Structure formats: structure tokens, C-alpha cells
Amino acid sequence: MELKRRYSFSFVLILNFILAVSTVALFFLSKILNEKWIFSLYVTSLTISYHFIMRLCVGVSVDLAIKKFSVRFRSYIPVSRVEIKFYKRIKVKDWKKNAITAKPDSFDIKKVNFKELLHNMIQAELVHEIIIPLSFVPLLFIIPFGVPVVFILTSFFAACIELKYVMIQRYNRPRIKRLIGKGYV
């Protein structure tokens, strides 16, 4: 757990770099060797690179925009009772522990107060909500590149992963709001 907390953002940066380099290398290999399977690897690597780099860019952009404009979230789409029942039914509490975050200190109650935690949670939810539709941008490349299965599967699974993080943030928000309401700031 500590290893995940200390190195997660560095890991994300290194992974993005490795993906970008491997995509460029596969591009040149596919041009030089003119093999279909290498081209398929290139397209797969390109798509995966897009998903990882896009996530990093969205997260950093939202973070910078919020800091630049001093945005504080007073209200956001409220979490309904039906939604909470759904989250309990699918056992978000059980699987949220395994979620990876690029900025674990932002969600550590030993390092931030509950108001900051709530702000960070809503910001994270916003980031993941922006990423969901952006996960489908690679579908535009089906026509020029072919290989529709790669684009469809990576887009679908990427959007599902983001939805998981939105659900985690929405599941936790009412509890944090109750604690703030009780004076635990």
C-alpha cells in the first residue's frame, strides 16, 4: 500500500513515456517491415497511449484550471438515495479499496481536512466524467486505420474504468458531507 502511495504519480508519468516511445517504435517498425501484425500492435499501442496520455492531460488541466480560477465546489450533482442503494448493492465499499489514484495524498484524511477532501473528491469526479466521453474519441480512427475491434474494445473498457471512479467518488460524498455537517472539518 505504501509503495502505491509513494510512487503512483511517478509511475503514471513513466508509463506514459514508455507507451509513447513504444508507439513511435511500433510505427516505424510497421512502416519498415510492412507486417500486418506489427501494424495491429502499433494501432493498439497508439490507442492505449491515447487513453493514458489523455487521462493525464485532463487531470492536470482540470487541476490547473481550478487553481487558476480559485474554483471551490459548493454544489454539484447531488447523490440520490436510489443511487446510494445501487452502490451498496454492487458493493462499492468492497472494491473501492483496490482503486489506484494518481494523487493519493489528496484523499488521505491524515493530510487533508474533510472540506478539502470533499473538494478533491468532487474534482476527481469531474475529471473522470470528462474522461468518459473522451474515451470514445478513438472510434473516429476506425475508418483511417481499420482494426475496429481495437478501437471499440479499448474505448468501451476505458469508459467503464472511468465510471468505476465516478461511482467511488459519488459513493463516498454523502458520508463526508455528513461528517462536515457534524463539525468534523
What one-letter code names the amino acid at 127?
Answer: V
- C-alpha 167/C-alpha 79 separation (Å) is 10
Q: Say how many C-beta atoms besides its own lie within 10 A of residue 2's C-beta.
A: 7
Provide the whole-model pTM: 0.85
Average pLDDT of the segment spanning 45-49: 91
Nearest to 155 by CA among 18, 46, 48, 53: 48
* pLDDT reported for residue 55: 92
pLDDT at 5 over 50: no
Q: Which residue range is the domain that position 111 belongs to?
A: 2-181
- The number of distinct structural domains making up the chain is 1
Q: Tell me, what's the pLDDT at 6? A: 47
The pLDDT, as a whole number, for residue 135 is 96
C-alpha cell at 24: 513511435
Q: Which residue type, as a one-letter code, is found at position 35?
A: E
Per-residue pLDDT tens digits for 61-93: 998 888 777 666 666 788 999 999 999 999 999
